[in-house]
Amino acid sequence: MSKQADRVQIFDTTLRDGGQTAGITFSAEDKLRIAERLSSFGVDYIEGGWPGANPKDDRFFELARERQWKHSKLVAFGSTARPGGQPSRDAGLKKLVASGADAVCIFGKSWDLHVVKALGITLEENLVLVHDSVRFLKRHFEQVLFDAEHFFDGYAAKPEYAIAVLDAAAAAGADALVLCDTNGGTLPYATGAVVREVVARFPGLTIGIHTHNDSEVAVANSLIAVKNGARQVQGTINGIGERCGNANLVSIIPCLVLKMGMDCGISRDRLVELKSVSDFVNEMANRLPWRHQPFVGLNAFAHKGGIHVSAVRKLSKLYEHVPPESVGNQQLISVSDQAGRSNVLVMAARTGFGLKLDASDPAVAELVAEVKSLEDQGFAFDAAEASFHLMLLRAKGKLHHFFTLEGFRVIDEKRGDDCAPQAEATVMLRVGNKFAHTASLGNGPVNAMDKALRAALQDFYPSLKEFRLVDYKVRVLSTIEATEAAVRVLIESTDGERKWTTVGVSTNIIDASYQALLDAIEYKLMLDEVRP
């Protein structure tokens, strides 16, 4: 689509619809921090919640009264007045008026089935509710947006009534009519056709789109709606929301800007903050980022196959649909059994150990063969770059062995069903011509071994006092062998400033853990350039 003169408004409902996600709980302070971040990012509307619905939302709106946003409008969400009452006396509408918000968004029923079954009123009574509620709120707010709940289902069942609901809201002065795919069951071809008809019927009014992801097409539905004239898109950061989630603004915004050439108030310069906004909301929601999330995920621009890596080294767009840096991400080259020389060369350049390799270096071919052999055994170097860096150093004869293991023993003992198990590890090793022999108790055998290793080495390498494990993952590589199967252990470590991941594989989980621990320690010492 060519550059459009009219602008698409971004309406964020992370704090309201997103807060309804199973397993996510935002405090009022969390919501305020997210709102401030969204405002600085350039979002047009930030829906803060439903005043009066719960104490947390009430507290958020109180906290938000001190906001100093230059661009974004704070929106209070609610419903039409309760059946049988006057809007001016409705407690819910009064809460909206008292919220201190800049604008208000209310929903009303547009599916005749919902009117009759859920509300238990006549179709005509519902039209009056919609009209009178919007008209009342227009006396108090400069902008009133109307969410036509279940609009696409209502239009499919009884199109003339769904349109009549929009007519009622428009006649009362609604500034935007938002078409909601509340159940998330409408497909893009149907969405586009309906939006086109509604846009034609209401010239001069902003038509919005609010979709859910129950059919995995919320983003597609939002984009096809814009293609057909919708000029407001509602969604959430990272697509969080009830059931399967809402339309993901993290995908929609770059598609609008980079692919459709639309002005949505977020410039290309501001778009580079997209990944950091996504990460921030994940942090507030206490969720791990989805590594494969389009545009912002760790693997969104990761290349594993040798042919792909060779191509992107020449011209990145050969296998990347947008420049990673345009959305605040970066290209990632990993190594695997599909790797080629290009993977190894790129990874070598990123080690930070000053390695210089070219395609003709015999070490490159040897390393490619070694990687493929080890991955066939179950190693995974695309998830454990530190172990791969050590392999590179070893291949070039630059890996310094800081200690030599003489042996270890791990005892995991449980006495009686009611007693907690006890783990003890004993480690014997040599550093140069000196001998160290230590034993440690731990919360499980791996923790005991970790503590014993560090206890034995800290006198020689004091920087290991800063070293600790932050994540430990075990995967059984083949279910056919059951308990005899090989396992892969991934360990993430940190020294407080840097993080790195190492891998070990064995049919013995303790041995696999030791391999990963050994790499983790040696990588730390190589980073510090420690010598005994």
Q: Per residue in 359-371, pLDDT tens?
A: 778 888 888 888 8
Select the CATH number that applies to the domain covering 9-266 from these four: 3.20.20.70, 3.40.640.10, 3.30.70.1350, 3.40.50.720: 3.20.20.70
Domain boundaries of the chain, sorted by first residue: 9-266, 404-528
Of the candidates 220, 281, 292, 285, the residue with the CA atom closest to the CA atom of residue 252: 220
> Residue 178: beta bridge partners?
147, 208
CA angle in degrees (0–180, nearest 5) for 349-355-357: 75
Residue 88 sits at φ, ψ, to 5 deg, of: -65, -20
Select the CATH number that applies to the domain covering 404-528 from these four: 3.30.460.30, 1.10.10.10, 3.10.450.50, 3.30.160.270: 3.30.160.270
Q: Going residue by residue through the chain (532 aa), what tens digit of pLDDT does each one get?
A: 334 448 999 999 999 999 999 999 999 999 999 999 999 999 999 999 999 999 999 999 999 999 999 999 999 999 999 998 899 999 999 999 999 999 999 999 999 999 999 999 999 999 999 999 999 999 999 999 999 999 999 999 999 999 999 999 999 999 999 999 999 999 999 999 999 999 999 999 999 999 999 999 999 999 999 999 999 999 999 999 999 999 999 999 999 999 999 999 999 999 999 999 998 898 888 887 898 999 999 889 988 777 787 888 788 888 899 999 999 998 877 665 555 666 677 667 666 666 777 777 888 888 888 887 887 788 877 668 889 889 888 888 888 889 999 999 999 888 888 888 889 999 999 999 999 999 999 988 999 999 999 999 999 999 999 898 888 888 888 767 677 888 989 898 999 888 898 999 999 999 999 999 999 999 999 988 744 4
DSSP 8-state code for residue 420: P
Neighbours of 60 (CB within 10 A): 25
CB 246 within 8 A of CB 291: no
Global pTM reads 0.72
CB 443 within 8 A of CB 423: yes
